Amino acid sequence: MKTVEDINKMRQDMVSKTDDKTVIYVHLGTCGIASGAMPVLNALKKKIKEEKRSDIELVTTGCAGICSMEPLITVKTAGYEPVIYKLMDEEKALEVFESHIKNGVAIEDYALARGMEYQLKERALNKGPVSGEKKMEGNIPGIEEIPFFSLQEVRVMHNRGLMDPGKIKDYIGRDGYQAVIKALTEMSSEDIINEVLTSGLRGRGGAGFPIGLKWKFAHAESGDVKYMLCNADEGDPGAYMDRNVMESDPHSLIEGMIIGAKAINATQGYIYCRAEYPLAIENLNKAIKQARALNLLGENILGTGFSFDMSVYEGAGAFVCGEETALMRSLEGKRGNPRPKPPFPVKAGLWEKPTVLNNVETLANISQIILKGATWFREKGTVKSPGTKIFSITGDIDNVGCVEVPIGTPVEVIVNQIGSVSKGKNLKAVQLGGPSGGCIPKQHLDVAVDYETLQEYGAIMGSGGMIVMSDDKTGVEIAKFFMEFCKDEACGKCLPGREGTKQMLFLLNKISDGTGSEDDIRKLEALCDVVKKTALCALCKTAVNPVLSTLRYFRDEYMNSVHTNELERA
């Protein structure tokens, strides 16, 4: 049986490894693989073998965040800052090998950036000051010169692109599972809960409920059987934050679940992940197997007397199963329909037992809160909403990808400075919160991204999907897009959700296709009010938000549409 001493020795061995080898990181997230990273990897493998270069280490790692520049490789040669190369293919990768690795000359035209600033910070924390590292010659911008990287604050994603997600030793070498050791050997359940409460961590799945409070409620429930669940059923259009974490850093999720289980006294956990995420599921299952092998999961973890095990459950892709009670019914093998609350899951959840459900990003925050403390966590973000938030930014922007910024960062910084609106496009609005959220028009881009402020403007933070839209589309078309999604994904259990979404889409189609009237706009608003007040679950209650926010900011486009149609019919 592995002990705390075994894990600490493994960590020390990894930390003390020398960096005298040249390391080539090939980024193999879903975005990289879809863009052609596997042929790049195979070409480099073949070249290293042909050249008999035992001094070169080829590492497969996760997404570096900037998905639109994939395939990416990062080259780190001894004594020099690393260089990230963008839009690689087999031919370009071999050019990099010949020029950069063999001759020490970086290729400026292919380079995205020089000097992984956050990587250096992390290495300095683990190994002491970084000294003697030189910048590669040439006109290659540094990370600090590229807003996509320099304006981020990576905490949850601090391991991204810097380790092999398939090797638990890599994670342990970056302080992985140190928080579990601390939680299981130095802290009681109450201590853990109090630390999370003090941190002010709020649920990153959309609702923003205080996590420490949820854990406190579950801890107070009696009973020998409790469950710790993770909601990885990420279904919002344009959202892929949780997928990124699971693919690139699966052990951070597992570590958070172990600590949460200790807090509420749970012995079994499940990660509910949609089957459309095959790479995430593969990496999670591999990580769970490795954690078990090191006695980090299972009976009597590390000899501490605490037992907890977990497994991955593949969901069938129903959007409604992102709602907590529907997810639990699906886990039980039943139809994934929501049920009324109360009782809340902390009292009667999975198989009617006390259950805590948190999303991926929430749980990935836990280990650092326990290891570094609540005070450290509160250094970023706002008073009411401390910490950082991951956003997947997509749409009419150049830098599509996943970014992590302090909560309270203005939308404008994320969209214009980090995302960079596509050339030739005129920004119209930003949709936050997916089909449950709303639009922030360009005149309000200075709004801070936090739970309360966004609600004042008719949007929500949601899980973190952020779609940037140009004026190619009208407000009616934007509302139609999200309502089509909600109509198709409504579970059908309640009349407002089943028929209300259908009728709202019918009215939107009338307004846009030439048969609508001002009366239809009034009917649409009235129907939104009914569905919002009477639908069974939050998913259909909030399905009206894209309609209401586009009516709020682009009502003139609705009116122009019906007036133009009336003139044409006349």
Sign, CA torsion 285/291/294/298: negative
Q: Which of 392, 416, 407 is nearest to 466 (CA)?
A: 392
CA 183 to CA 258: how far, in whole Å?
Answer: 9
The reported pLDDT for the residue numbered 116 is 57
- B/e letters for 400-436, b = 16+ CB within 10 Å, e = fewer, are bbbbbbbbbbbbbbbbbebbbbbeebebbbbbbbbbb
Q: Answer yes or no: CATH 1.20.1440.230 is held by domain 475-569.
A: yes
> What value does the mean pLDDT take over residues 147-160?
92
Rounded to two decimals, the pTM is: 0.93
The reported pLDDT for the residue numbered 529 is 95
CA 303 to CA 71: how far, in whole Å?
Answer: 43
From residue 62, give the alpha-carbon distance in Å to each of 159, 246, 279: 9, 9, 11
pLDDT for residue 242 is more than 70: yes
Residues 6 or more apart whose CB falls under 8 angstroms from that of 352 comprise none
> What value does the mean pLDDT take over residues 107-113?
93
CA 457 to CA 411: how far, in whole Å?
Answer: 12
If DSSP codes are grouped into helix, strand and coil, which group holds residue 430? strand
Q: Residues 37, 81: contact at Cβ < 8 Å?
A: no
CA 352 to CA 389: how far, in whole Å?
Answer: 32
Q: Phi first, then psi: give them for residue 139, nearest 5 degrees.
A: -90, 65
pLDDT for residue 569 is more than 60: no
CATH class of 21-150: alpha beta
Task: Tally Cβ neighbours within 10 Å of residue 457.
Answer: 18
Structure tokens at 155: 């905490």
Q: Residues 469, 422: contact at Cβ < 8 Å?
A: no
Which helix (H) or strand (E) is 395 found in, with range? strand 388-395
CA 155 to CA 360: how far, in whole Å?
Answer: 14
Structure tokens at 356: 């805590």
Task: Tally Cβ neighbours within 10 Å of residue 265.
Answer: 19
> What value does the mean pLDDT take over residues 154-178?
95
Helices 4-15, 178-186: axis angle to 10 degrees equals 150
Q: Which of 474, 464, 448, 447 is nearest to 546 (CA)?
A: 474
pLDDT for residue 171 is more than 90: yes
Q: Phi first, then psi: give them for residue 25, nearest 5 degrees.
A: -95, 125
The reported pLDDT for the residue numbered 132 is 45
CATH class of 169-377: alpha beta
407 or 21, higher pLDDT: 407
Q: Of all residues in the chain, what percent carry a pLDDT higher than 90?
A: 77
> CA angle, 380 as apex, 375 and 384 as ends, to 5°?
85
The reported pLDDT for the residue numbered 476 is 94
Tens of pLDDT, residue by residue over 370-382, are 999 999 999 999 9
pLDDT for residue 566 is more than 80: no
Highest mean pLDDT among 75-84, 200-209, 222-231, 312-321: 222-231
> What value does the mean pLDDT take over residues 535-558?
92
424 or 50, higher pLDDT: 50
The dotted CATH code for 388-470 is 3.10.20.600
Q: Identity (one letter) of the amino acid at 5?
A: E
Residues 6 or more apart whose CB falls under 8 angstroms from that of 461 comprise 206, 208, 389, 432, 433, 449, 450, 451, 454
pLDDT band for position 462 (cuts 50, 70, 90): confident
CA 546 to CA 462: how far, in whole Å?
Answer: 13
CA 333 to CA 272: how far, in whole Å?
Answer: 12
Structure tokens at 367: 């280990």
The reported pLDDT for the residue numbered 124 is 39
Tens of pLDDT, residue by residue over 471-487, are 988 999 999 999 999 99
Q: Phi first, then psi: give them for residue 118, nearest 5 degrees.
A: -70, -30
Domain parsing of the chain, residue ranges? 21-150, 169-377, 388-470, 475-569
> What value does the mean pLDDT take over residues 541-545?
92
Structure tokens at 53: 């270069």
Residues 6 or more apart whose CB falls under 8 angstroms from that of 121 comprise none
The reported pLDDT for the residue numbered 565 is 58
CA 474 to CA 471: how far, in whole Å?
Answer: 7
CA 448 to CA 410: how far, in whole Å?
Answer: 4
Residues 6 or more apart whose CB falls under 8 angstroms from that of 508 comprise 476, 479, 480, 483, 524, 547
The reported pLDDT for the residue numbered 131 is 41
- B/e letters for 490-523, b = 16+ CB within 10 Å, e = fewer, are bbebbebbbebbebbbbbbbbbbeeebeeebbeb
Q: Which of 282, 277, 270, 274 is nearest to 317 (CA)?
A: 274
Tens of pLDDT, residue by residue over 348-403, are 999 999 999 999 999 999 999 999 999 999 999 999 999 999 999 999 999 999 99
Structure tokens at 338: 């929501």
pLDDT band for position 67 (cuts 50, 70, 90): very high
The reported pLDDT for the residue numbered 153 is 92
Residues 6 or more apart whose CB falls under 8 angstroms from that of 430 comprise 411, 415, 439, 440, 445, 466, 467, 468, 469
Instruction: Return mean pLDDT, the chain.
Output: 91
Q: Residues 548, 524: contact at Cβ < 8 Å?
A: no
Structure tokens at 77: 């040669």
